[in-house]
Structure 1
């Protein structure tokens, strides 16, 4: 970790856009300890077994068919930064093109610094990630004819973070790793069961970002995006409850206690990154799907992924009975 190098990369940000992405990459890597990626044979085989077992169990419980990503990587923190920088650039690209400011140089440095802080913070805290490669183009999304020249989704595990958090929570590394694997595989199930979901999310994300680039706020796009992501997170929580092969209430409680005990700086950064909203999506979505699953079973809840019209609206997320009345079994 080299904070001086990180600061230098930010202050020397250049280019035509509002963010110098090459500088963000250099600065975020310099500000982040990569962590140890030395894996024993048991750990390496353990990751593979956890993912494989999660796929089998989730398929059984959910009654949906899906494949695992071709790319399944055990990473250190620098690997995670490299894998995600393109996603951040794609999402913010419209703002780079359309943004206007009276002091572009100062704005570029400030924005580059902000993105560096965000990436470095996430790299130190992300445990696992299912990445559907939203907004990817060209080779990143395959040939466009049903074949694939490259992976169209990926699954990452940030091993140093998993090791560190397991130690902080005083839980078995293997058990905690397995819990993370099951959670991320549930996301693979959602996107596998709903081939339309990536396009649905992309369209609303692009609308929201385009509006921001024009200096306005598309509230409807944000509402629809929030509703869809709440469904994504809630369904994953439902499957975790029904598919994980061990009781994990103790793990959940320890993770929640750790979250409540974070310092004010960490809480502020999480609020700015919208991670508090993500927690709300977990809780709100889980409550919706618990009600639906109690009424129709987990397979009955899975019809939400049959077509975009089956997604719950914002109102239905809080009153699942309305969704049950609207969407047939």
Structure 2
């Protein structure tokens, strides 16, 4: 069984693109100017990130792509197809191959679910590094969403675009300057898929029940928690530690490397933090179900870890985190930078 047997990916792209919508209205010239400025911002950010962090990515790796909402959705469908293959094979071993009407209907139903989720996210994501694209990953900057947010926040467009580029370029540098990071994360995702022991037929009713709990204010769990047996939880905790590090590191870089070139940075950060809290009940429920609230916590906790370590051992000492997988912080160490310093630096 392949991922395409379980999900009609073409349908997922169509549904996701319809849900996400086209984004803000801009003229053809405005669109061209935004694309050019984002590409220039990503290029400018490379040296800013390198000078501040001490990490230097080899030239010519991990291209930067400026995309629209359907482009982001298509890229993530491709990534899902690659990383879910082991899970699809495991489901086939457990339930047997799908055939005939069951296969056709099941793949379309799943496509509607995946497309709906990607459509919701596709209208919000500003940028993303896709570490699973061959051969070295790729950086995606979602132009209509960046324009939409800069208008919503009423901030200087050029400053905001460079600020976003600094964050996302940091992720590109993390994965291209640290050669083992991509394979390490891929291995953790594969381990998580191998540990999954959930019957897909039981998920729908459970998801609806959890959504009802959230609407009534009775629960703070996300969909990730549905898969959290002991073995899976151990993998999730390791991935949480890594992602908190990567997100927090990028947040520190965008705020600390940017002031000299982004005059309105403090205003942007203040307004952007307010936006991260979400608006409206439906938005908050979806953010919890999709684990977006947990991702916001990763930014905060990861940034505190980075600054806490730098305060103790400086940036050179912090950069030991990139030396080998054993030096990555655990989920507990993210909340206790001193523990990481003691373990790694003695």
1:163 and 1:49 map into 2 onto residues whose CA distance is: 16
Residue 109 of structure 1: how far off its partner (Å): 4.2
Q: Secondary structure at the match of 1:74?
A: strand
Residue 37 of structure 1: how far off its partner (Å): 7.9
Q: Deviations over 1:187-245 (max 9, x none)?
A: 12211232111111111111111222565732211111111111111211222232113
Asked whether 1:189 is paired with 2:173, we answer yes
Quote the RMSD (CA, aligned, Å). 2.5
Q: 1:308 aligns with which of 315, 325, 338?
A: 325
1:311 and 1:70 map into 2 onto residues whose CA distance is: 23
Q: Contact 1:223 / 1:314 at 8 angstroms: preserved in 2?
A: yes
- With over 3 angstroms needed to count, the CA separation of the structure-2 counterparts of 1:70 and 1:196, relative to structure 1, is closer
Residue 289 of structure 1: how far off its partner (Å): 0.8
Residue matched to 1:149: none
1:128 and 1:48 map into 2 onto residues whose CA distance is: 12
Residue 299 of structure 1: how far off its partner (Å): 2.9
Residue matched to 1:19: 7
Q: 2:265 aligns with which of 228, 248, 273?
A: 248
Q: Secondary structure at the match of 1:260?
A: coil
Residue 171 of structure 1: how far off its partner (Å): 0.8
After the TM superposition, list the runs of 4 or more consecutive aligned residues in structure 1 that deviate by more than 4 angstroms.
Answer: 39-42, 101-107, 213-216
Residue matched to 2:316: 299
Residues 126-205 of structure 1: pairs in structure 2 closer than 5 A: 126-133=125-132, 140-141=134-135, 152-205=136-189
Asked whether 1:111 is paired with 2:110, we answer yes
- With over 3 angstroms needed to count, the CA separation of the structure-2 counterparts of 1:16 and 1:55, relative to structure 1, is closer
1:46 and 1:323 map into 2 onto residues whose CA distance is: 39
Asked whether 1:61 is paired with 2:52, we answer yes
TM-score normalized with structure 1 length: 0.83
- With over 3 angstroms needed to count, the CA separation of the structure-2 counterparts of 1:302 and 1:265, relative to structure 1, is same
Asked whether 1:38 is paired with 2:28, we answer yes
Q: Secondary structure at the match of 1:31?
A: helix
Residue matched to 1:83: 75
- With over 3 angstroms needed to count, the CA separation of the structure-2 counterparts of 1:67 and 1:266, relative to structure 1, is farther
Residue 261 of structure 1: how far off its partner (Å): 4.8
Residue matched to 1:123: 122
Number of corresponding residues? 300
1:106 and 1:56 map into 2 onto residues whose CA distance is: 50
- With over 3 angstroms needed to count, the CA separation of the structure-2 counterparts of 1:96 and 1:38, relative to structure 1, is farther
TM-score normalized with structure 2 length: 0.79
Q: Secondary structure at the match of 1:195?
A: coil
Q: Secondary structure at the match of 2:190?
A: helix
